[in-house]
């Protein structure tokens, strides 16, 4: 028996990752959906256990039907504490995290939660000699572009929509257990041109590689001249990944084959490929 | 008499604008500041009065010392309702909004609030034939890049930091009354190369112009083939603005004169221009 | 009854606009047409009433069947004086001018003349600290590219050819009343790819926006450091518009769908879209 | 004894070359000079002897102190006829022409005239299957950019200004005998960066090479599929030359060393290299 | 009667040209062919008669069925001496050389040898002030890209494979007499898009033009400041040629029409155009 | 006591890697050195033990003072067999190989040989559906560019020159034990601009990452549609690495700080950074 009322989606953002930056907007990109209500609560850049607990607590006040808990490295104490609170509350939860978050999968699964892990969502070059608000924003712009153009966001929306669909149908929602690696992402992007797909795959790999450099620059190197140089290299690498991912999309524009999947008011994902064409409902 | 405890910053996000996407991260870009605590609450893409009231209400639970209320068009009923609630609560508030939000300035000033208005933060091309989650994210990536590279974010951080500084000093905070137009933004970006500055100025104008096209495409044109074409043109324009803003920053890289202003742990904005150089405290 | 002899086209160029730079060549791009003879007279960069009268007077010596009177801002005293002389002479006249020339429309219509107004034909950044012969030429190269690639020149040729066609048929010529805005231009360009069209539209808007900056830099700002910076930004904007307009055409090359409309010897506009293909006469 | 009145410059344009497109504007780029008056007369794209004679005749009505006679291949009958008329009239004349015009040098020198020959000013790909008004304009935009950025226009202005200077001083003017080859052009451009200079040199060579292809495509090849392909290659080559010449100038922007030489009201060539800097008079 | 054993290909490299850099790999690009064995001997950058003789002598030790003798300017004493030795040995030989090598054609033909001459394989800018190992390698990278993308390598492989085919069939091999000019190369490249073909043709011409500049810089100019500038311009020209040749191939990627002709294990050239498609044997 | 005669350098090329493509030219980039003689012998793309032994045998005929043994994966049986032969012959040997070659280090050291290992020298995408001669050459062009611009070749030349220097001085040569990783390479490149260095570092990492994809595509994936897509992505990644490495060098051009280290006739590495400047001998 399907629910009459809109599904309440609660988004907890604890610390910043590229996947969470637009998380509360991705599900209803034109603010038109009548089938969901979105609320988000966040702790800004920090994610201590106290802060995550406070954030999750407030989010529970909204009585969410589904919670998206987004953070870097879901295995850290903060996100872990958040999951405990959510498990106690018994709210269906999808953990959204980056590559290091893989370490939390066992715990997540044990709690009956879903997860979406994005290895390309590499850590920023968080060194004071390098990272100010402007550089941070530019890095996020590059990262968002990579995630968008390589298909990560679309895959994520599909997975969450599926869970929402279960809730709307009055069923126990099917929670994703999804590592959005190169092939999963690019598959979701539905490229028509195989070179666009190849470039997107390369871009995804580049974005994933960034984490090796930022981890080196932030945690391994001690000499400031060296780590500054390495985190700068990491951001240049993400910038190129963004450029290449963008080119992949341009190729599809050149062929007028850009895949678009807008939601309609009822929350159904329509799709189209020609620019001047009405989006259509999925068949079947 | 200065406060001993960290200042509590509450960020209300109602609907999406480019300036708000990273708002809760911009103030503490490396999660290091000990002088502030950030909490955000948001209503996702929507901003009806009920939703904004709910969001603001929850935010007040965090007992913020300063509230940043971010939304498109602050003159809409939703943001207006939010301001009323905040005015009743007596919390120092800075309204952050886009060009159409200018219409709310009188009301904002009357309530003793501050404001930061960003005319370049143009409305997205919100037509179903065109805008899905992926396109939405790409547009935001472009917009974030323009705002970052042209100096908007740095100007915004400076203004909010100033208000925080007042609170830390135990004073009534000086709330900004700031329209971050082309010259204000580019001034804050502190370009060394005058052609970088010229390109950034051009990029800012391009981003501002986007709103003319999206308003035309979303509100004036009725024929779907035509408005789809116009909103597509609008996003191409923002994409070029991002490209040009990025080039402005690249010029500064080529001369090793990128201005960077990271916060230190105490929340002081340091600054530097050479890549391999320690950031310094402001003089005086 | 059609004329046996070639139609005599007189082109008066008073001051420089992007639309006039190649005006006398656009109508017979390969110097092959047997149906027209072109003569031009110009006053260089200046356009005082005395100069325009002298130019128009000399042009009338050629006994033109049709006069194209091109100038910036057709509402200025110079072009106005030129129109008076032409009205007295009773020669069918088409005024070709930029956005500010719109103010002359009433006067033009009252004199029974036609007009072609090109809002994208923005004023140059005419400040001595910035504009020398080289910069002037580069600006014109950018502007010509925008006008060519966005369809302005083709629309202009079609309109003038129509008037010529009337004269050839021995009829009173149908003089255009045409504002070649974004949609009119891009429509004439007959893009096959909708993203090419979107980029051309964006380029057109960028070129139009340039005038806001050059007017600001040339007439509103007094401080030389500031106006130099603003006119430099204006030219960067035009440069980007040219880049984007060029990209629009490249997209059509990538699809082998560039629209070409060469004249044949009789002055008929043929057309084709594949590169290796013979141009054909219009049907019907 | 210097002349009190402005010098009258007559510009005859017979057929189109890249050097003549803006010829009447180059000498007074901001319409400010009080020391010269410019009049131009042209025959559009054609240049038969009758037409050139008519054009030159009309130009002589203006009683010019100096005539600039611009045409493709000055050795053709049309330009030759024009020179005869000018020689009879005894007006100091500078012939401006492209590479094939070199064949006329003996005749020009015999008549005591000056000349400026621009080998990079390559013939257009004038084949009906390829060249329409739009393609023609784009080619000219590319060519103008090459000529501007590689220093051709500046060298030309210097040479003509020198002749004007003689007339102003009441002397017999010193008429240039100038082939503006790669080294002469690039020398005039006064690049600060040696790689900018190298790229400009390469761009000049590319533009010069275009003529080999257009001559092949227009005069040697008979099969339309082949010549269409060859003239298309020629225009692609000019497009790349323009791109590279533009990059040369961008390098100077990146170093804030763009050489600018604007005229002042008295017609003196000032100069400057930093963007935000006042132009200065030449020393000595 | 066809040979049972693999054909032995001997490659002599005396001095460096772009065509020889990968010569021993081009014939068996994935090290899979069972029908040939390749051995190469080289004298590094030098090519005196003694050295070439020594190289050729050693190569003959391998008992090659076919020798490819690659060098700059095959008319120099070194390569000439090499040919004499090979003629004495009576081994079928294909001389592979650059434009100046054309002077050796008569001698080559007289010896019953074949030749492949590549005019685009322009001499490097061999001046000490400019050329170090890094610059040399970059020039070769650019040159290899031009040769690859414009079809030179494919044409060369086809020609050599044909000779090998004869040897395999037990026949006197048909040795090529091939000048791989613009049209021959681009024909072999089998472009689908005519603008890709036009750009490749332009790139080929640019690469050929480089030799004019390097010859000027290396042999004609004596003043070191001038020749350094000229050889730098030459390398910029080759860099642009590479960029343009690369763009030609990208166009084919955008249309998914890249022509590929891999060898199979038996040495037959298969072919395909879609990326995700199996290569097929030639028909007939 | 130093040797009077030139040092004889033998280069054995068994199979192809990016580092070996130009190996015999890198040491004497303008064919001017009087202090060395270079001979190379190669087995084309293959490297079975028999072939390597044959190649090394022939090379020993030249009586080399120093052998450079270049191959992919030096731990394969072929290169291992080659080393054995060289060890028996007692000729000082430097093994030059790619990342997988690291597995041979122990054996190399045990034999008293030197090595230069280049992890960025990634394996090509050797799948028949993808790799033909043209694609192979393009990949090598990209790889050569990365190795050149990131400093790999210069580091390699320095190391080999050092060994040669020992031989010239009559000493036991100091054979390198060098893994030319990101930092070693970029250090050798002596960038002046730190962003150029950062981009070169990123390019190096991208090139290194390519091997992960080609190994996946060549050895792990069995389904041809999938591996074709993956090797195509690998080559796109190398292409981007080349683009970025090239940009790093362009930055140095923009600042006129390109480091160049040409050999003089005596084989001494000179150095310079301004384009128009004489190279100088090292101090001390």
Strand partners, D114: D94
Query: What average pLDDT score do residues A55-61 get?
Result: 96
Q: Which of D148, D151, B25 is nearest to C143 (CA)?
A: D148
Give the helix/strand (H/E) hosting D18.
Answer: none
What is the number of helices (H) and of strands (E) in chain B?
9, 6
Residue A75 pLDDT = 98
Q: Which of D13, D10, D68, D6 is nearest to D38 (CA)?
A: D10
User: Which percentage of chain D shows pLDDT scores above 70?
Assistant: 99
Taking CA atoms, what residue in A is nearest to E274? A194
| Strand order across the beta sheet in which E66-70 lies | E177-179, E114-118, E93-98, E66-70, E7-13, E36-42, F36-42, F7-13, F66-70, F93-98, F114-118, F177-179
pLDDT along chain E (284 residues), means of 10: 84 97 96 97 96 96 97 98 98 98 98 98 98 98 98 98 96 96 98 98 98 98 98 98 98 98 97 98 82
Give the integer Cα–Cα distance in Å for E230 and E225.
Answer: 9
Chain D: partners with 3+ C-beta pairs within 8 Å:
B, C, E, F
Q: In degrees, to the nearest 5, what angle opens at C-alpha F252 toward C-alphas F250 and F255?
A: 115
Alpha helix segments (H runs only) across chain F? 23-26, 49-61, 77-89, 105-110, 133-149, 152-168, 182-189, 194-215, 224-254
CB-facing half-sphere around the CA of B211: CA atoms within 13 A: 18
Q: Hey, what are C194's tokens?
A: 């909708």
Residue E4 pLDDT = 79
- Work out whether strand B66-70 and strand A7-13 pair parallel, antiparallel, or are unpaired: unpaired
pLDDT at A1 over 70: no
Q: Do B251 and D256 touch (CB under 8 A)?
A: no
Residue B253 pLDDT = 98
The C-alpha R_g of chain A, in whole angstroms, comes to 19
Query: What average pLDDT score do residues D11-32 get?
Result: 97
SS3 content of chain A, % helix, strand, coil (to 5): 50, 15, 35
C-beta atoms surrounding E27 within 10 Å: 23
Q: Which of B211, B171, F224, C53 is nearest to E262 (CA)?
A: F224
What is the number of helices (H) and of strands (E) in chain F?
9, 6
Q: Which of B196, F42, D162 is nearest to E55 (CA)?
A: F42
Give the helix/strand (H/E) hosting D11.
Answer: strand D7-13
pLDDT at F219 over 60: yes
Residue B4 pLDDT = 79
Residue A151, C-beta contacts closer than 8 angstroms, at least 6 positions apart: A185, A186, A187, A188, A189, A190, A200, B134
Q: In degrees, to the nearest 5, what angle opens at C-alpha F25 toward C-alphas F19 and F29?
A: 120
Cβ atoms of residues D271 and D244 within 8 Å: no
Residue E283 pLDDT = 81
* Per-residue buried b or exposed e for A137-151, using 16+ beta carbons within 10 Å of the residue's own CB: bbbbbbbbbbbbbbb
Residue C62, C-beta contacts closer than 8 angstroms, at least 6 positions apart: C8, C10, C39, C41, D58
User: Which percentage of chain F shows pLDDT scores above 70?
Assistant: 99
D chain contacts of residue F255, beta-carbon cutoff 8 Å = 255
Chain F: partners with 3+ C-beta pairs within 8 Å:
A, B, D, E
Cα pseudo-dihedral B252, B257, B259, B262, rounded to 10: 120
Residue E31 pLDDT = 96
Q: Do F275 and D198 touch (CB under 8 A)?
A: yes
Numbered residues of chain D with Cβ closer than 8 Å to any chain E Cβ: 194-195, 197-199, 201-202, 205-206, 209, 212-213, 229-230, 232-237, 240, 243-244
**If DSSP codes are grouped into helix, strand and coil, which group holds residue F38?**
strand
pLDDT at A237 over 90: yes
Its ipTM equals 0.97
CB-facing half-sphere around the CA of F174: CA atoms within 13 A: 8
CA distance D26 to chain C (A): 5
Give the integer Cα–Cα distance in Å for E14 and E2.
Answer: 32
Residue B276 is nearest to which of F194, F251, F255, comparing CB atoms? F194
Average predicted confidence (pLDDT) for chain B:
97
pLDDT in tens, F26-82: 999 999 999 999 999 999 999 999 999 999 999 999 999 999 999 999 999 999 999
Q: Do D45 and C38 touch (CB under 8 A)?
A: yes
Residue F5 pLDDT = 93
The DSSP letter of residue E74 is T
- Assign F284 a pLDDT band (cuts: 50, 70, 90): low
Cβ atoms of residues A104 and A129 within 8 Å: no
Residue A3 pLDDT = 64
Q: In degrees, to the nearest 5, what angle opens at C-alpha B22 toward C-alphas A93 and B122?
A: 115
Question: Do chains D and B have 3 or more beta-carbon pairs under 8 angstroms?
Answer: yes
Q: Do F236 and A194 touch (CB under 8 A)?
A: no
Q: Do E256 and A195 touch (CB under 8 A)?
A: yes
Give the integer Cα–Cα distance in Å for D84 and D91.
Answer: 11
pLDDT in tens, F173-182: 999 999 999 9
pLDDT in tens, F231-247: 999 999 999 999 999 99
Q: Which of F98, B267, F182, F188 is nearest to A217 (CA)?
A: F182
Cβ atoms of residues F30 and F57 within 8 Å: no
- On the 0-12 / 13-18 / 19+ scale of CB atoms within 10 A, C222 is exposed
Numbered residues of chain B with Cβ closer than 8 Å to any chain C Cβ: 194-195, 197-199, 201-202, 205-206, 209, 212-213, 229-230, 232-237, 240, 243-244
Residue D245, C-beta contacts closer than 8 angstroms, at least 6 positions apart: D145, D146, D148, D149, D150, D199, D200, D203, D204, D207
Helix pair C182-189, C152-168: axis angle to 10 deg = 80
Give the integer Cα–Cα distance in Å for D193 and D197.
Answer: 6
E chain contacts of residue D237, beta-carbon cutoff 8 Å = 202, 205-206
Q: Which parts of chain C register pLDDT below 70?
A: 1-3, 284
Question: Do chains F and C have 3 or more beta-carbon pairs under 8 angstroms?
Answer: no
pLDDT in tens, D106-136: 999 999 999 999 999 999 999 999 999 999 9
The residue of A130, A190, A202, A234 whose CB has the most chain F CBs within 10 angstroms, and thus the best one to mutate to test that interface, is A202
Q: Do A253 and C251 touch (CB under 8 A)?
A: yes
Residue C284 pLDDT = 62
- Work out whether strand F36-42 and strand E36-42 pair parallel, antiparallel, or are unpaired: antiparallel
Strand partners, B116: B96, B178
Q: Do F232 and A194 touch (CB under 8 A)?
A: yes
Question: Do chains D and C have 3 or more beta-carbon pairs under 8 angstroms?
Answer: yes
Q: In degrees, to the nearest 5, what angle opens at C-alpha C99 toward C-alphas C123 and B186?
A: 50
Q: Hey, what are C49's tokens?
A: 């009433």
Residue B55, C-beta contacts closer than 8 angstroms, at least 6 positions apart: A39, B12, B13, B14, B41, B42, B43, B82
Average predicted confidence (pLDDT) for chain A:
97
Residue C234 pLDDT = 98
Q: Which of D133, A255, D218 is nearest to C271 (CA)?
A: D133
User: What separation in angstroms does the CA of B144 have from each of B102, B118, B139, B150, B243?
Assistant: 21, 12, 9, 10, 12
The residue of E7, E11, E18, E30 whose CB has the most chain F CBs within 10 angstroms, and thus the best one to mutate to test that interface, is E30
pLDDT at D251 over 70: yes
Q: Which parts of chain B register pLDDT below 70?
A: 1-3, 284
């Amino acid at each position: 028996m399907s629910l009459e009322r809109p599904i309440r989606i609660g988004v907890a953002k604890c610390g910043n990752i590229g996947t969470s930056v637009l998380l509360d907007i991705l599900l209803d990109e034109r603010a038109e959906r009548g089938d969901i209500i979105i609320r988000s609560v966040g702790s800004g850049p920090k994610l201590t256990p106290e802060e995550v607990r406070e954030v999750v607590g407030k989010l529970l006040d909204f009585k969410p039907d589904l919670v998206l808990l987004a953070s870097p490295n879901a295995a850290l104490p903060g996100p872990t504490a958040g999951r405990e609170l959510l498990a106690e509350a018994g709210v269906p939860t999808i953990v959204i995290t980056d590559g290091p978050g893989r370490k939390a999968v066992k715990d997540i699964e044990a709690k009956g939660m879903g997860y979406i892990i994005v290895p390309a969502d590499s850590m920023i070059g968080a060194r004071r000699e390098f990272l100010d608000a402007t550089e941070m924003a530019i890095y996020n712009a590059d990262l968002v572009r990579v995630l968008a153009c390589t298909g990560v966001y679309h895959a994520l929306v599909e997975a969450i929509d599926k869970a929402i669909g279960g809730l709307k149908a009055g069923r126990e929602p099917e929670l994703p257990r999804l590592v959005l690696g190169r092939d999963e992402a690019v598959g979701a992007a539905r490229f028509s041109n195989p070179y666009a797909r190849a470039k997107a795959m390369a871009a995804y790999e580049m974005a994933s590689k960034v984490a090796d450099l930022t981890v080196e620059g932030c945690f391994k190197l001690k000499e400031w001249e060296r780590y500054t140089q390495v985190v700068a290299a990491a951001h240049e690498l993400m910038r190129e990944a963004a450029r290449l991912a963008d080119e992949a999309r341009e190729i599809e524009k050149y062929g007028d084959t850009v895949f678009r999947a807008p939601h309609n008011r009822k929350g159904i994902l329509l799709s189209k490929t020609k620019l001047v064409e009405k989006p259509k409902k999925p068949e079947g």
